């Protein structure tokens, strides 16, 4: 690949190589936390925090970590940040923390973070790694927010908890149940990939 710049990294992570659509990473949480916008927003902010700082830390420490134990060291670094997120959430937004349940802890096993530290932070300078971590989780964030928007709107008739649809609207209960998460993600994937396909044909 050519010279990595802040701009090229952002474009790569937000669009061309989006972690959710193209690399199919971090799908578990994409599906699980998207039934309410508020939960989704807080979850993705947590992921952004953890990904950015873990990438930064791994990149700073990369010369001190022996190759053989690097996976476990990375896991420990990630767990450290996730514990911080967990404690902060429980202190300030206990009801969201309860709604997210085990999924906060599961940020540790979110493949996006591990993937970024392993593929990027290992071999790049700290600032670039921080930027890479943040942008790839932003790529994850906007897709989750879109999915959550549709699911919450149709499932509860609300946006961020405010009633927006008229009261006589019949909620589509299926939208807040597990299967619709799969369908919504597939439909979004369909639209986005269709768009990418068209562009490729034009070229």
Considering only 15, 92, 142, 190, the residue that binds another protein (CB under 8 A) is 190
Paired residues of 159 in beta bridges: 162
- 73-99 exposure pattern, b = at least 16 Cβ within 10 A, e = fewer: bbbebbeebbeebbeebeeeeeebbeb
Q: Which residues in the 6-65 window bind another protein by CB under 8 A?
A: 24-29, 31-32
The C-alpha atoms of residue 103 and residue 46 are separated, in whole angstroms, by 11
Q: Toward another protein, which CB reaches closer, 74 or 135?
A: 74
At which residue do the structure tokens 């429980």 appear?
90
- The one segment of 2-10, 52-60, 151-159, 174-182 that binds another protein by CB under 8 A: 174-182
- The one segment of 5-13, 107-115, 130-138, 153-161 that binds another protein by CB under 8 A: 107-115
Asked whether position 87 contacts another protein by CB under 8 A, the answer is yes
Contact 167, 47 (CB under 8 A): no
Considering only 82, 89, 138, 175, the residue that binds another protein (CB under 8 A) is 82
**Dihedral sign for Cα atoms in the order 172, 150, 20, 70:** negative
Q: Which residues bind another protein (CB under 8 A)?
A: 24-29, 31-32, 72, 75-76, 79-80, 82-83, 86-87, 101-102, 105-106, 108-111, 114, 177-183, 185-186, 189-194, 196-197
């Amino acid at each position: 690949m050519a010279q990595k710049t802040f701009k090229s990294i952002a474009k790569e992570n937000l669009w061309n190589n989006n972690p959710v659509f193209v690399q199919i990473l971090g799908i578990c949480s994409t599906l699980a936390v998207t039934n309410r916008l508020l939960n989704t927003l807080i979850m993705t902010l947590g992921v952004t925090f953890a990904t950015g700082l873990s990438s930064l830390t791994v990149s700073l420490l990369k010369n001190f970590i022996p190759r053989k134990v690097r996976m476990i060291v990375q896991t420990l670094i990630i767990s450290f940040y996730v514990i911080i997120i967990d404690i902060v959430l429980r202190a300030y937004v206990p009801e969201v923390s309860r709604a997210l349940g085990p999924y906060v802890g599961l940020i540790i096993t979110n493949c996006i973070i591990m993937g970024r530290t392993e593929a990027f932070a290992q071999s790049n300078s700290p600032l670039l790694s921080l930027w890479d971590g943040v942008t790839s989780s932003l790529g994850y964030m906007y897709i989750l927010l879109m999915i959550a928007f549709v699911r919450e709107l149709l499932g509860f008739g609300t946006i961020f908890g405010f009633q927006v649809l008229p009261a006589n609207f019949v909620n589509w209960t299926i939208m807040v149940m597990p299967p619709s998460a799969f369908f919504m993600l597939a439909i979004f994937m369909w639209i986005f990939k269709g768009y990418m396909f068209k562009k490729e044909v034009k070229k």
